[in-house]
Amino acid sequence: MDNRPIGIFDSGLGGLTVVKEIANQLPNEEIIYFGDTARFPYGPRSSVEIRGFVFEIIDFLLLHDVKFIVIACNSASAAALEVVQQYYNVPIIGVIEPGARAAVQATRSRRVGVIGTQATISSGSYIGAIKVVDAGVQVHSLACPDLADFVERNEITGPRVERAIQWYLDPLIRAGIDSLILGCTHYPLLSETISKVAGDGVKLISSAKETARELKEFLIRKDNLRQEKVPPISRFVSSGDEDVFRELGARFLGREIESVDRISFPLQERVAGIEKG
Ligand code: DGL
């Protein structure tokens, strides 16, 4: 038993799709979520810069005595997971391996598509993670730089977003994929339109669901589930505007967000301040 909270973070609000799945599968767990909305998006940034952000955020979450950390951002998982797993003692998982494993399990044609940000796709992380599970699977990956922006604007259906998705998916569908990894935490909100374009023959793999499943397995095997009878209280923290977070975040989370705390940059100074009391 471990009643401490789970720390979850993303470059912005997309990671709330992961929080939603975790809350579904682990309703008794307390969560502290950090959205780095002031520095969103991570997708066009270099892996060195993203790694620096990830260290700052994990230091901040550890001040809240989290028992487990989920990097609910594909770009950050691709740039930093391996490094931070080696650096910190707290268990940390990302969203790439769970999605990759699920895609290998799902595919019949052994041709898997991956869509994500520039940072995620150019890292080759999904290809690596898929090949670890099945080296014979063909991976067709593609960066879709503006898809997350459609979601940010709440343009998740309609002709413009459909045309963009059509344009991106066309080469993947022609390559014969039967499973498509939504390799960006924003994309689950586009599932309906992506499914419409990709057709019934392509199964969509959401990293959010798979990551929540993996986290649950970890907590059960480590005997780390929260056992309190009182319902959990989750906290939301943002580096940017609290009101925008509350309003837009509700779409990703699928429920109202009552309050959001704001933390200012640089986080390192803030962390030092908290430690000094
Ligand atoms: N959360 C990011 C990811 O999953 C998408 C948005 C961004 O570019 O930061 O890759």
Ligand 1 atom with the shortest distance to the CA of 185: 4
Q: How far apart are CA 134 and CA 119, in angstroms?
A: 23
Ligand 1 centroid from CA 17, angstroms? 12
144 catalytic? Reply is no
| Domain chopping of the chain, boundaries | 6-94+210-276, 96-207
Q: Residues with beta carbon inside 6 Å of ligand 1?
A: 10-12, 14, 40-43, 73-75, 116-117, 120, 148, 184-186
Q: Is the pTM of this model over 0.85?
A: yes
pLDDT of residue 265: 65
Is the confidence at residue 161, as pLDDT, over 60? Answer: yes
73 catalytic? Reply is yes
Average pLDDT over residues 34-39: 95
Q: How far apart are CA 154 and CA 14, in angstroms?
A: 12
Q: How far apart are CA 240 and CA 265, in angstroms?
A: 10
- Which CATH architecture does the domain made up of 96-207 adopt? 3-Layer(aba) Sandwich (3.40)
pLDDT of residue 264: 77
Please return the burial class of 89, using the count of CB atoms within 10 Å of its CB with bins 0-12, 13-18 and 19+.
Answer: exposed
Is the confidence at residue 230, as pLDDT, over 70? Answer: yes
> In this structure, which topology does domain 6-94+210-276 adopt according to CATH?
Rossmann fold (3.40.50)
- The residue to mutate among 16, 40, 248, having the most atoms of ligand 1 within 8 angstroms of its beta carbon, is 40
Average pLDDT over residues 5-14: 96
Ligand 1 centroid from CA 74, angstroms? 6
pLDDT of residue 152: 83
- Alpha carbon nearest to ligand 1 atom 6, residue: 41
Confidence grade of residue 132 (pLDDT, cut at 50, 70, 90): very high
Q: Do domains 6-94+210-276 and 96-207 have the same CATH topology?
A: yes
Is the confidence at residue 231, as pLDDT, over 90? Answer: no
